[in-house]
Amino acid sequence: MTEGKKNMNLPLITLTTDFGLSDEYVGVMKGVIYTICPTARIVDISHNIRPQDVRQAARIIFSSYRYFPAGAIHVVVVDPDVGSSRRIILLEADGHLFLVPDNGVASLLLPRTQKIYEIDNTTLYRHPVSPTFHGRDIFAPIAAHLASHLAPHSAGSEIARDAPVRLDFAVPSICGNIMRGIVTDIDHFGNLITNIDKERAGCFCSHDFHRLKVHAGALTIHGIVSSYNAVRRDEPLALFGSRNLLEIGINQGNASTKLRLGLDSPICLSI
């Protein structure tokens, strides 16, 4: 509880957006937060989500939140419907708070969610509210008030746990002795991150990862290794990365460029 108490005194807000880092948008959100909650710590998770890519944002926040202290407030603004009647929701999940547009970006968090609120306390907003920048006028002030110990139920009304929009995410399929997945993300190094998680792949191959063959484009990789340098420089490899997802990489090289594979490229496993 000591840890929890410390965090109460030093609230932490994370930001995940598709705003990029060239415009003033992110800085302005931080200005609004600090105006309301001067003691907040603010961490940028990413501002380079592909524009309007709600699924990418969903995967990033789901992969990240658990590394932050309990009580952290995670704000995600990837919000193609800003200014429409789409709701803004606050989730209590796994000891963390998530303030997000109700567009499916919370889909992966819903199984771990205890309570959900629809944000409707307009007295907490910045006014006038710009119909194009709720990040500044709604998300930032609400997050800052929560960081200043506002109770979630004072920011909005509780709604049913099955009320939020749920997006489908492609899951691997098995047909005979082949498991079919796709590339869902390409990281800064050019590693191809797939939707095939270690647990699912382990069941498929009876946890004998050495006998797996990974098919990526014209390439077949034999066996799964545990680190990039398990193969020679410039050689391709397959491993389960820091998200516990199957990745295709090239030791000290860019797999996406060299293999000419990108988002949605099919990746298959066979035994």
CB of 153 to a second copy, least distance (A): 25
Cβ pair 156, 90 in contact under 8 A: yes
Looking at residues 58 to 117 of the shown chain, list those that interact with a second copy (rule: CB under 8 A): 60, 63-64, 67-69, 72, 80-84
Residue 209: half-sphere exposure toward Cβ, Cα within 13 Å: 13
Given the DSSP bridges, would you call strands 192-197 and 219-222 parallel, antiparallel or unpaired? unpaired
Among 94, 113, 125, 130, the residue binding a second copy under the rule CB under 8 A is 130
- In total, the chain counts a number of residues equal to 271
Q: Which is nearer to a second copy, 177 or 252 (CB)?
A: 252
State yes or no: residue 28 binds a second copy (CB under 8 A).
yes
Q: Which is nearer to a second copy, 158 or 189 (CB)?
A: 189
State yes or no: residue 143 binds a second copy (CB under 8 A).
no
What secondary structure, in 3-state letters, does 44-100 show?
A: EEECCCCCCCHHHHHHHHHHHHHHCCCCCEEEEECCCCCCCCCCEEEEEECCEEEEE
State yes or no: residue 3 binds a second copy (CB under 8 A).
yes
State yes or no: residue 25 binds a second copy (CB under 8 A).
yes
How many residues interact with a second copy (rule CB under 8 A)? 65
State yes or no: residue 262 binds a second copy (CB under 8 A).
no
Select from 209, 218, 229, 210 the least CA-distant residue to 265.
Answer: 218
Among 13, 47, 119, 245, the residue binding a second copy under the rule CB under 8 A is 47
Q: Which is nearer to a second copy, 20 or 262 (CB)?
A: 20
From residue 203 to residue 242, what is the string marking binding to a second copy with x (rule CB under 8 A)? Answer: -----------------------xxxxx--------x-xx
Select from 128-136, 147-155, 169-177, 262-270 the region that touches a second copy (CB under 8 A): 128-136
CB of 92 to a second copy, least distance (A): 18
> What whole-number distance in Å separates Cα of residue 96 and Cα of residue 87?
20
Q: Which is nearer to a second copy, 111 or 128 (CB)?
A: 128
Q: Which is nearer to a second copy, 9 or 123 (CB)?
A: 9
Among 187, 215, 219, 270, the residue binding a second copy under the rule CB under 8 A is 187
Among 117, 133, 204, 209, the residue binding a second copy under the rule CB under 8 A is 133
Quick count: other Cβ atoms within 10 Å of Cβ 142?
25
State yes or no: residue 202 binds a second copy (CB under 8 A).
no
